[in-house]
Homo-oligomer: A and B are copies of this chain.
Amino acid sequence: MGNFEALVEVQLRPGISDPQGATIERALPALGFTGVSGVRAGKAFRLQVEAPDDQAARRIVEELSERLLANPVIEAASVSIISPPPA
């Protein structure tokens, strides 16, 4: 068993309006940021998971994301397993 670190990024699905992202985008020119577009505001979760290998870790975190961390009606989650288990 190893201890894996996972990053779960949750964003609104394409087509679902994202007023927060849009508000940030509107504020940028006044702050001197030009050339920035397509801002999306979502959530990022970090967690440690115990699993035999990184495949298994990914499966657990994916299930957790679908069942809890994202609302599939409006959101999509993407999982990255970051750290390899300590040798």
Show the binding face of A for B, using Cβ within 8 Å: 7, 9-11, 21, 24-25, 27-28, 31, 33, 35-51, 60, 63-64, 67-69
Chain B residues, CB < 8 A from A42 = 43-46
- Whether B45 lies near A10 (C-beta < 8 A) is no
Which residue in B7, B9, B31, B43 is a CB contact (below 8 Å) of A68? B31
- Chain A, interface SS category: strand
- Whether B47 lies near A37 (C-beta < 8 A) is yes
- Whether A43 lies near B46 (C-beta < 8 A) is no
Which residue in B7, B39, B49 is a CB contact (below 8 Å) of A36? B49
- Whether A51 lies near B31 (C-beta < 8 A) is no
